[in-house]
Amino acid sequence: MSITKVTQHPTQNEGLIFERSQTGRVGYRLPKLDVPGSDAIPAELRRDDDLEGMPEVSEVDVIRHFTRISTWNYSIDLGMYPLGSCTMKYNSRLNEKVARIGGYTNLHPLAPEEESQGALELMYRLQEDLAEITGLPGVSLQPAAGAQGEMTGVMLIRAFLDKRDGDASADRRVMLIPESAHGTNPASAALAGFTVKAIRANADGLTDMEHLRQLCDEGGVAGLMLTNPNTVGIFETNIKEICDTIHAAGGLVYMDGANMNALVGVARPGDMGVDVIHLNLHKTFSTPHGGGGPGCGPCCCTAELAEFLPVPRIEKSGDRFHLNYDLPESIGRVKAFFGNFGMMVRALSYIYTHGAEGLREATETAVLNARYVAEKLKDTYHKPYNADCMHEAIFSHKHQSAKGVVTLDIAKRLIDYGFHPPTVYFPLVVEGAMLIEPTESVGRADLDAFIDAMRSIDREISESPELVTNAPHSTRIGRLDEAAAARKPVLRWRAETDAMTSGA
């Protein structure tokens, strides 16, 4: 692959918009102020600094500046985005269009029930579909993220135990969590007042049953938080036995459903013995994920736990929908109004446009794609577990690090090949991990191109490793000091200093 110096191109050497500023240049014309009297705006509200420090630019300056910068972005619309554990998939534009229907976007959350029947019905139907998909009949759409869905779910467990055990509940405060878990799991457990004990995995990457039983025998177990398929992409085949073990110890099972993209339409957590789950509508069910926008992390639970779900509950009587706030056992609200409604519209649109068959096919394709990558790369990259993966394939840098090249270098070099790097160095249980989740939205040709790129990088590591250790070569900037960027961000332009180097 030839390395071109792209930074000379006018679209690539864009400075800050302040550097385009020319005194007196404007992008607008306002009519003459015809408000009578000079005191139309009170003096203390008028600014007197003449907008000092603002860039003075024309319309075309603004348009070109931001359009050029936008072309430096990598996006799901541009190519494969194989972030493991995150389900960054392409979703149909139709769902976006439906979410923009005026009747939905203009509805005020405080509009009376009789004027919100359509929106209430939409939420009610989505709840019913998510109940069917998970096999868990109690659903709240309120949580605004996966992490908040987790917190809601463990609060349900806490409320259930407090009611069941009374004062004795205080002796039951241990939440078991696999050591590979997403960091939000122990955080949610701690927020709900539990202490965390880590469960080891066995050599196959599955929950170590012996260790699980031992921890249960130690007593005080309130529950288990498990991701399935787990965080190394493998289905916990002992799930039923795991649930039985926890239930026998008097605890409940929470499943982190962020990986539902591997199960929808094929297997239901409720049937496996799971008591509570959260879903990430912004991973599995269409909302674009990763742009920092709003999310939705519905919490689904057994009938037994439903009385503790957040208020208000959406209920149906006859063909009318209404909100019930009068649920004395509820943990209360977890989010203003009803949660992030636009995500719910997208999710229902996604479910209806796929249908049951289509949802199953999406799941099967997601798993097939990951297994294809796993199979094609297993001779090139070290695959730490033998089991067939589900929706994501995990590798490590073991073979390459022996030649002085590590996961970060491989990830950076992938950028030169036109791919967004996969998730790296997560989960922590695999040293130098590369967690690759192609999703169902990638076709065979793109998968092959990705596999070719990964193999080609491995060849480069043998032939000219510095090509990889110095990558990326095709981008405007190379490697950033990411820690400094996060800890000492430069967020303000100061005309009198060089803002890019001042660190202020």
- The binding site for ligand PLP (CB under 6 A) comprises 85-86, 145-147, 182, 184, 227, 256, 258, 280, 295, 297
Choice between 88 and 468, CB closer to ligand PLP: 88
* Alpha-helical runs (H) found in 71-178: 93-99, 102-105, 117-134, 146-165
Q: How many helical (H) and strand (E) elements, i.e. helices and strands, does the chain have? A: 16, 12
Q: Which is nearer to ligand PLP, 65 or 182 (CB)?
A: 182
State the minimum distance, in angstroms, from the CB of residue 121 to ligand PLP. 26
In the complex with ligand PLP, the residue whose CB is nearer, 256 or 460, is 256
Residue with tokens 């997601």: 366
Question: Residue 369 Cβ, how far from ligand PLP at the closest point, in Å?
Answer: 18
DSSP category for residue 289: -
Q: Among residues 122 and 279, whose Cβ is nearest to ligand PLP?
A: 279
Sheet of 433-436: strand order equals: 393-396, 433-436, 423-424
Extract the tokens encoding 176: 């078991």
Give, for 320, the enclosing helix (H) or strand (E): strand 320-324
Least Cβ distance, residue 84 to ligand PLP (angstroms):
9
Q: How far is the CB of 464 from ligand PLP (least distance, A)?
A: 36
Q: Kind and range of the H or E element at 374?
A: helix 341-377
DSSP β-ladder status, 252-257 and 276-279:
parallel
User: CA-to-CA distance for 189 and 152, rounded, in angstroms?
Assistant: 10
CB of 184 to ligand PLP, least distance (A): 4
Q: Residue 267 or 451: which CB sits closer to ligand PLP? A: 267
We find the least distance from the C-beta atom of residue 181 to ligand PLP, in angstroms, to be 7
CB 36, min distance to ligand PLP, A: 54
The per-residue b/e assignment along 36-51, b for 16 or more CB within 10 angstroms, e otherwise, is eeeeeeeeeeeeeeee
Enclosing H/E stretch for 197 = strand 195-199
| Between 429 and 451, CB nearer to ligand PLP | 429
Least CB distance to ligand PLP at residue 230 (A): 9
Before 472, cis peptide (omega within 30)?
yes
Measured from the CB atom, is 120 or 154 closer to ligand PLP?
A: 154
Taking the complex as a whole, how short is the minimal distance between the CB of residue 258 and ligand PLP, in angstroms? Answer: 3
Helix H segments across 378-438? 398-401, 407-416
Quote the least distance from Cβ 43 to ligand PLP, whole Å. Answer: 47
Rg value, the chain, Cα: 26
CB 335, CB 408: distance < 8 Å:
no
Q: How far apart are CA 305 and CA 153, in angstroms?
A: 10
Residue 85 vs 363, nearer CB to ligand PLP = 85
The residue with its CB nearest to ligand PLP is 146
Q: Of 147 and 461, which CB lies nearer to ligand PLP in the complex structure?
A: 147
Min dist CB 298 to ligand PLP, Å, is 11
Q: How far apart are CA 125 and CA 127, in angstroms?
A: 5
d(CA 473, CA 2): 10
Residue 435 structure tokens = 């967690």
Minimum CB separation of residue 13 from ligand PLP in Å reads: 35
Distance of CA 128 to the CA centre of its chain: 23
What angle (nearest 5°) sits at the alpha carbon of residue 183, between those of residues 181 and 187?
115
- Kindly state the tokens that stand for 286: 């269409």
Q: Which is nearer to ligand PLP, 256 or 440 (CB)?
A: 256
Instruction: Pick the closer one to ligand PLP by CB: 172 or 391.
Output: 391
Dist CA 250 CA 244 (whole Å)? 10
The alpha carbon of residue 95 and the mean position of all alpha carbons in its chain are separated, in whole angstroms, by 18
Cβ proximity to ligand PLP, 155 vs 461, nearer residue: 155
| CA atoms of 106 and 263, how far apart (whole Å) | 35
Cα–Cα distance, 438 to 233 (Å, whole number):
12
